Structure 1
């Protein structure tokens, strides 16, 4: 059995976006500590670079927490494999001639497309697409102000 409709957006993203739907926020949603998880040792070197680059940014926004390690590792590993396929294509091109003389696309084209889609899916989960970013209002997370009225207005 599948679920219907869009999957729910994490409350942290709704708060950063200013709760544009004006629906009540889930106050009982688990709130893990806003601390970036440790980078897994098994990630490819390029994935580790991406982990270091993005984890600080996401932690500052309060989006990346310790329980997100697997999802974020998936994003970073997909990034590394996408980059590797793209570098191959830049160096060798997108087509080759088979021994029988037919022109064929190199496998790295579909590999790059597959990992780009995986990255896009993870990016939407973490609010990293341009459209998701356009809805985020930095510095508007709950607790950023001492004004109780501002806090109340954010929930409306």
Structure 2
């Protein structure tokens, strides 16, 4: 399999270090007021949406067509926060009594937290908002080489080294 395709915004932010021809598609900027949360979001995910949508739009990483995917990301963040609060309140483990004795089990919120973390990381990578994704974008911004190039061409009036013959190929 080949590399995953990247959004146009991420490609533009990385620059074009290889100087290959890029197909440029116009990027439409949508005002924040035009993007509303999907109706499927839970009550706990709407504040996450409101917290994150403006920085994402300002950075150019969110469009109207991305609202459902971004909604899934916000829902995962809300689930993660809720699971962390429950674990802090109840603890990571609890005791269970059975016919065979008493044993310790992991709180179900721990699996919700872990699943949410995986989803958050997956979608954050897709949106280009993880530190590694930002680093890739920042390293893609290449400065132009000096006017004469990286290596200055030799001029014909320079002396040739003594004791060596110059070989030229035409």
Q: Offset at 1:99?
A: 1.4
- TM superposition score normalised by structure 1: 0.75
Cα distance in 2, alignment partners of residues 16 and 22 from structure 1:
14
Partner of 1:89 in structure 2?
A: 87
Cα distance in 1, alignment partners of residues 14 and 85 from structure 2:
35
More relative contact order in 1 or in 2 (CA 8 Å, sep 6+)? 1
Deviations 1:28-62 (A, max 9, x none): 5xx56322521124422331112112111111121
Cα distance in 1, alignment partners of residues 4 and 128 from structure 2:
14
Is contact 1:82-1:115 (8 Å) kept? yes
Which structure 1 residue ranges, 5 or more long, are not aligned? Answer: 141-149, 151-156
Which structure 2 residue ranges, 5 or more long, are not aligned? Answer: 145-170
Is contact 1:95-1:103 (8 Å) kept? yes
Q: Offset at 1:20?
A: 4.9
Partner of 1:25 in structure 2?
A: 22
1:7 to 2:4 alignment: yes
- TM superposition score normalised by structure 2: 0.70
Please state which structure has a larger fraction of its residues in helix.
Answer: 1
Q: Offset at 1:128?
A: 0.9
Is contact 1:11-1:26 (8 Å) kept? no
Q: Which structure has the greater CA radius of gyration?
A: 2
- How many residue pairs match? The answer is 134
When the two chains are superposed, the root-mean-square deviation of aligned CA atoms in Å is 2.2
Cα distance in 2, alignment partners of residues 52 and 19 from structure 1:
33
Distance 1:81 1:8, change over 3 A: same
Distance 1:22 1:72, change over 3 A: farther
Deviant stretches of 4+, over 6 Å? none
